[in-house]
Amino acid sequence: MSLSPARSEELLARFADQRILVVGDLMLDRYIYGKVERISPEAPVPVVLVTEEKGMPGGACNVALNVQTLGGAGTISGVLGADAAGAELKRLLAEMRVSTRGVLEHEKAQTTVKSRVVAERQQVVRVDRERRGGIPPEVREAFRGHIESAMADATGVVIEDYGKGLVEQGVVDAVLRAAEAKQIPVGFDPKENHSLNVQGISVATPNRKEAFSAVGMQEPLEPGEPMQDETLKEVGRRLYEKWQPTLGLLLTLGPQGMLLVKGGEPALHVPTRAREVFDVSGAGDTVIATCVLALAAGATPEEAAELSNYAAGVVVGKLGTAPCSVDELRAALPR
C-alpha cells in the first residue's frame, strides 16, 4: 500500500478546511528544571536548584495541538476548574491558536496539573494535583449539555480518554448523537475504560496494551511479527466486534507500525516509517489527530492509516512530547 504523491498532497491540502473538536481530559503539564549539587541533610534525596519553569498543554490538549500544527483547526472541549491552573492552560492554548470555546469552567471542578521536576536531564519526581473521586455528577451533567453547541461547526471529532473521569457513557452518547446528525467521523483514543459502549465510532486507535486489556487477554512478553501473530489478530477481531467502528480499528504497535482491522477483510499491516526512535511520548496523540483529520478530508481508512503512520514516524524521532507539523509530514512522505 502506498499513497501517490498527488493523492497525499490532495489530502494534506484539504486539512486546512477541517475543524476537529477534541473531547476529553484537559491537563496542565508543568516542567520544573534545575540542577543538583548536593543531597539534602534532612533525607537521602537530591536538592534541586530550580533554573527554569514552564507550562505546557497536556492530555487531550496535545491532540488538538497536533490538529493545529497539521494545518487543521483544533478546538478543545473538556472541563476546567475556575482556578489559576485552568486560566494558565487557557492562556497557553490561546497562544498556540487552539480554540477553547468548547471548554466548560466550573467552580466545583479542579484543573489537573502534572508537575515534573527534571534535573540533569533526568526526571526526579512527578507531583500530580487532581480532584480525588473524579468529576462531580453536576459538573458532568452540565458538560453533557455543552457538547452539542461545541460541535456546531466541527467536521470531525476525537474522544480522547485519559482516565480522569470526563469520558463516561453520557458524554460518549452525546458526541455520537451529534456526530451522526452531522455525518462526521468520530475517532476514539481509549484508556482502560472497558465498560464504555462506543458502537457508532468511525475509528479507534488503541495501542497493544490497551487492546489486549480491553478484551481481557494476556499480552505476550515478546510480540510476534504482526501478520504471523495469531493472538494479536484474534485481539483485533474481538475488539472490532466489541466496538464495531464503522471505518476500522487501527492498532498501534510501536516499532512494529500499525495493524488495520476491518470487518470481513484480512488485517492489513502498515510497517513503521520512523527512521530513528528517540521518544514515543505523544505518538498516540499524533496518530489519532492525523487519522481523524485525514478521514474528515475524505481519505479512505487505508490512506488515513498510512498518513498517521508517517506522522507518528516524525514525532518519535523527537525528544519529548512534540507535535508533527504539516510541513514535516509532507517531507516524510515518499516522492
Q: Is residue 229 among the annotated active site residues?
A: no
SS3 content of the chain, % helix, strand, coil (to 5): 35, 25, 35
Q: Which of 17, 229, 285, 327 is catalytic?
A: 285
What cell numbers appear for 94 in the block?
490561546
Confirm if 48 and 40 have CB atoms less than 8 A apart: no
What cell numbers appear for 47 in the block?
536538592
Exposure letters 221-250 (e unless 16+ CB within 10 A, then b)? eeeeebeebeebbebbebbbebbebebbbb
What cell numbers appear for 201 in the block?
465510532
| Beta-strand runs (E) in the chain | 19-24, 26-39, 46-59, 73-77, 79-81, 104-106, 112-119, 122-129, 156-160, 186-189, 203-204, 248-252, 258-261, 268-270
Measured CA to CA, the distance from residue 105 to residue 83 in angstroms comes to 9
DSSP string computed for 61-80: HHHHHHHHHTTSEEEEE-EE
The upper half-sphere exposure of residue 296, i.e. CA atoms within 13 Å in the direction of its Cβ, equals 33
Catalytic residues: 285
